[in-house]
Amino acid sequence: MIELEGVPELIDPVMICAFEGWNDAGDAASSAVAHLDREWKGEVFGALDAEDYYDFQVNRPTVWLDGGVRKVTWPTTRLSVVRTGGATPRDLVLVRGIEPSMRWRSFCNEILGFAHELGVEMVVILGSLLGDTPHTRPVPVSGVTSDPDLARTMDLEESRYEGPTGIVGILQEACTHAGIPTVSLWAAVPHYVSQPPNPKATLALLNRLEDLANLRIPLGDLPEDARAWQLGVDQLAAEDSEVAEYVQSLEEARDTAELPEASGEAIAREFERYLRRRDGQPGPGQPGGLAADPPVADGRDSSYLRDTSSGRTRPPKPQPKDESQPPASDEDTGPGPAPEGPDGED
């Protein structure tokens, strides 16, 4: 039995989860949950026992000084609660940690125990993966579920993925079998600029989460960080003709694939989504959170253009991506090399 002393009664709670590791390309998913925790001043109320789920030779503890006293922080998964306020308040249970090394079924059962005790109405799991998507276009975010009814009522893709999976896929199935409505949101990160952080992908996940959970999320400095990130990559790509050519080929493939969506109905749908999300406040100039005229970035980092699978600083022609990341699949991104959400947009 899970004891939850000191946790107030929650209002229409939604559990939002993200895990560092295989399902977190560019740290986009874990950064999204960290942003929610920071902006809404989350209060940690629980943590899973690190010895039950982590191999400390893989995820090592860290030692730090607190007023001259040495302390140890163990890798684990922590739970916090935030109150969103607003006209229609809704509480969030945030689950953030590292993908466990072992005993995944017990790990998921613990998370489910917390969800049951807190009266969680829906679980949203965030993930990000490497994809053949250009950094100059809106970040594709797909929403998938294993529940056919939920897929139909919330306009989501029904997962038909078969193959290796991470803790995101296992937790989604565990929640579904437990009867808890569950959705996973996946952002596609350009594989040629995979170094974290990727604020543009984080922003895209939060924008999609706003629509899904009917929230209004304070974005803070994130839109500015996303603009600076894109301009930094633009500048580095412009310095290498091979990189620029490769990005252009990805842009052409993406634009061709999305051409059927460039209809009046699709544009109207996106504009309505924008108005609903921003509620009349100034916002990003295009889907994915980037303005049309990004400001100048403060610095450059050559790791932006590093292909981590080969160590080269320029992208190769299209080839299999880094095996350390989950495969692009309909569980993660929907069909095709440039994963997209149900609407074909983020």
Q: Are strands 141-145 and 62-66 parallel, antiparallel or unpaired?
A: unpaired
CB atoms within 10 A of CB 68: 5
Q: Report the pLDDT averaged over residues 80-105.
A: 90
Is position 37 within any domain?
yes
Q: Does 313 reside within a domain?
A: no
Q: Which two tokens stand for residue 167?
A: 């803790």
Burial label, 178 (beta-carbon count in 10 A; 0-12, 13-18, 19+): middle
* Cα 27 to the center of its chain, rounded Å: 8
Residue 116 structure tokens: 């049951």
d(C-alpha 346, C-alpha 337), whole Å: 16
* 203, two tokens: 């922003």
80 membership: H or E segment, kind and range: strand 77-83
In a domain, 120, yes or no: yes
The number of CA neighbours under 13 Å toward the Cβ of 142 is: 25
β-strand partners of 14: 92, 122
Q: Are 107 and 39 in contact (CB under 8 A)?
A: no
Q: What is the pLDDT of residue 8?
A: 76
Domain that holds residue 24: 14-262
Residue 155: inside a domain: yes
Amino acid at 295: P
Residues found in the chain: 346
Per residue in 316-345, pLDDT (tens digit) is 444 444 444 554 544 444 433 333 333 434
Q: What percent of the chain has pLDDT over 70?
A: 72
Computed on alpha carbons and rounded to an integer, the radius of gyration of the chain in Å comes to 20
In whole angstroms, give the CA distance from residue 272 to residue 27.
29
pTM of the model: 0.74
- pLDDT per residue over 214-237, tens digit each? 888 999 999 999 999 999 999 888
Q: What is the rounded distance in angstroms from the CA atom of residue 324 to the CA atom of residue 21?
A: 9
Q: Specify the number of domains making up the chain.
A: 1
Residue 184 resides in a domain? yes
**Is residue 107 domain-resident?**
yes
Are the beta carbons of 131 and 322 closer than 8 angstroms? no
For position 158, which CATH number holds? 3.40.50.10900
Q: What is the DSSP string of 129-144?
A: EEES--TTSPPPEEEE
Residue % of the chain over a pLDDT of 90: 50
Q: What is the mean pLDDT of the chain?
A: 78
Q: Residue 76 gets which letter from DSSP?
A: -
Write the pLDDT tens digit of every residue in 27-47: 999 999 999 999 999 999 999
110 domain-assigned: yes
Question: What is the identity of the amino acid at 184?
Answer: S
pLDDT single digits (tens) 285-323: 333 333 333 333 333 333 334 333 333 333 444 444 444
Per residue, what are the HEC states of the chain? CCCCCCCCCCCCCEEEEEEECCCEHHHHHHHHHHHHHHHCCCEEEEECCHHHHCCCCCCCCEEEEECCEEEEECCCEEEEEEECCCCCCCEEEEEEEECCCCCHHHHHHHHHHHHHHHCCCEEEEEEEEEECCCCCCCCCEEEEECCHHHHHHCCCEECCCCCCCCHHHHHHHHHHHCCCCEEEEEEEEEHHHCCCCCHHHHHHHHHHHHHHHCCCCCCCCHHHHHHHHHHHHHHHHHCCHHHHHHHHHHHHHHHHHHHHHCCHHHHHHHHHHHHHHHCCCCCCCCCCCCCCCCCCCCCCCHHHHCECCCCECCCCCCCCCCCCCCCCCCCCCCCCCCCCCCCCCC
- pLDDT of 276: 59
Query: Does 336 map to a domain?
Result: no
